[in-house]
Amino acid sequence: MKAEIISVGTELLLGTTINTDAADVALLLSEYGINVYWQTVVGDNPGRVIEAVQRAKSRADIIITTGGLGPTCDDLTKSALAEAFGLQLELDKGEERWLRELWVERGYTSIELTPNNLQQVMLPEGSTALRNDWGTAPGCTFKADGVLVIMLPGPPRECRPMLEYRVRPILAGLSDSVIASHNIHFFGIGESEMEYKLRDYMEELTNPTLAPYAKNGECLVRVTASAPTREKAEEMMAPVIERVKGMFGELAYGMDSANLAEYTTKLMIERGVTVAAAESCTGGEFTTAITDIPGASATLKGGVVVYTDEAKHKLLGVPEDLLRDKGAVSYEVAVELARRVREKLGSDFGVGITGLAGPDGDGVHEVGTVFISLADKDRVWVREKHISHRERAQVRLYACQNAFDMIRRYLDGYDVGEIRVDP
């Protein structure tokens, strides 16, 4: 089966809103072996929406639309779809009753349910309403001209649960196979090198399949299998996953994690260890990445941004002569940052990050030079990285990723890096 996703909204065309709905829809369709051959984004213009739908119905078996189901004048998806398929809009009495009850439940008794609000429950004739328990505009589905149409609201907070609880059962009834996938995550290897090492194995496989990707300084390999059931797909993927992990060893850090920061933070929580950080060029991004994870209070003791030499000396006691003689961007200062923040905050680990994110150098080091340190009660490890030809944000991100990688290697029993000092 071939599917087309039509996303309606001028804000998507202008770039003021990122179209996450299309990605969510595509991922769900892929689970059921339904191929998405086309994605269309169209503004809030009835003529262009009708044109997009007519083009889609000529080439796709399934059309899923997102957006344009609300009460405002630019919410025109239902009327455009109805016209494109030669259907009339009809009041869905069940959804009208539900909407009126919802109005009362929300305490809107002094506000009349206006015609524009009732427009939300006007659906193409022959439709089955898809109750929207996360908003006020129901979705709907119908089949006409040999095409299955599914209409969904645009706001992601509504679209995502609608996909899971309303659309998934529909798709499950259409497909005799399930497509399942897992992402194996790696840090410390580039996409091209990974693809080269995997190439022969990738060519051997037909089902499951492998596909490498690069993502924000990390790499992942997606393992995908098609099978009659989820259980069978998992059984097929298991030996492939183990072989891929074995090919790259300690570079593989997890499966289906959001990123290295999430994996490492959860690992620290699981192991019951604490961390404190002293950050210079990253400006608090390392500790922010930890606090983004629920339960972070169990592992993060605290952090300090020591952006200047003065702050390094006054807040952590880094010797002034060391800063003067070695410079803030040095492994010696990185050592002191990790040691001193661990001691001051009483954590199991101390992390220090210092470097040059750009755009200017310091006359000694090139832009992109960073030193990342990790201290436990006995030792300090330091990584020196040269992240050249990258924007400031990328330099900061990669520096933080290295800090997380050092911690996860420590906890997973791998070599952390070069030992610079044994305090």
Whether 162 and 152 have beta carbons less than 8 Å apart is answered as: yes
Q: What average pLDDT score do residues 62-67 get? A: 97
> Sheet harboring 147-152: ordered strands across?
35-42, 2-8, 62-66, 147-152, 139-144, 128-130
pLDDT of 267 over the 70 cut: yes
**pLDDT of residue 422 exceeding 60:** no
Return the higher-pLDDT residue of 269 and 113: 269
pLDDT at 363 > cutoff 80: no
pLDDT band at 50 (very low <50, low <70, confident <90, very high): very high
- DSSP character at residue 298: G
Query: Cα separation of 361 and 365, whole Å?
Result: 6
Q: What is the H or E stretch that residue 38 is in? A: strand 35-42
Which residue is associated with the tokens 């050092």?
406
Q: Are strands 178-186 and 252-255 parallel, antiparallel or unpaired?
A: antiparallel
For the domain spanning 2-172, the CATH number is 3.40.980.10
* For residues 75-95, average pLDDT: 93
* Segments of the chain assigned to CATH 3.30.70.2860: 178-255
Whole-number pLDDT of residue 187: 94
Confidence of residue 423 (pLDDT cuts 50, 70, 90): very low
Q: List pLDDT tens digits, range 182-233.
A: 999 999 998 899 999 999 999 999 999 999 988 878 899 999 998 888 899 9
Q: Which of 220, 300, 293 lies closest to 261 in space, CA to CA?
A: 293
Query: Residue 229 has what pLDDT?
Result: 87
3-state DSSP assignment of residue 299: coil
Give pLDDT tens digits for 271-300. Answer: 999 999 999 999 999 999 999 999 999 999
For residue 280, give the amino acid letter: S
Structure tokens at 275: 């961390």
Cα–Cα distance for residue pair 106/109, rounded to 1 Å:
8
- Alpha carbon dihedral 46, 49, 54, 55, in 10-degree steps, equals 150
Q: Is the pLDDT of residue 417 over 90?
A: no
Mean pLDDT of all residues in 346-356: 97
CA distance 151 to 69: 8
Mean pLDDT over 322-327 rounds to: 94
ω into residue 359 within 30 of 0, thus cis?
yes
Confidence of residue 102 (pLDDT cuts 50, 70, 90): confident
pTM over 0.85: no
Q: Is the per-residue pLDDT at 359 higher than 50?
A: yes
Provide mean pLDDT across the span 13-39: 92
pLDDT at residue 110 in the model: 57
Q: How confident is the model at residue 421 (pLDDT cuts 50, 70, 90)?
A: low
Of 336, 322, 312, the residue nearest 421 (C-alpha): 336
Sequence-separated (6 or more) residues with CB below 8 Å from residue 188: 251, 405
Res 362: pLDDT? 65
Give me the percent of the chain exceeding a pLDDT of 70.
Answer: 96
Q: Could you give the residue range(s) of every CATH 3.90.950.20 domain in the chain? A: 260-421
pLDDT of residue 365: 77
Mean pLDDT of 366-378: 93
Between CA 356 and CA 193 the distance in angstroms is 27
Residue 172 pLDDT: 84
Q: Which CATH architecture has domain 260-421?
A: Alpha-Beta Complex (3.90)
Bridge-partner residues for 276, per DSSP?
302, 350
**Average of per-residue pLDDT values in the chain:** 92
Predicted local distance difference test score (pLDDT) of residue 19? 95
Is the bond leading into 138 cis (omega within 30 degrees of zero)? no
Instruction: Answer for the pair 35, 2: CB distance below 8 angstroms, yes or no.
Output: yes
CATH class belonging to 178-255: alpha beta
Distances (CA, A) of 252 to 189, 192, 263, 283, 306: 10, 16, 11, 28, 32
Structural element, H or E, at residue 421? strand 419-421
Local confidence band at 324 (pLDDT 50, 70, 90 cut-offs): very high
> For residue 268, which phi and psi values (nearest 5 degrees)?
-65, -40
Distance CA 222, CA 241 (A): 9
Neighbours of 224 (CB within 10 A): 20
DSSP assignment of 320-370, as one string?
Answer: HHHHHHH-SSSHHHHHHHHHHHHHHHT-SEEEEEEE--SS---SSS-TTEE
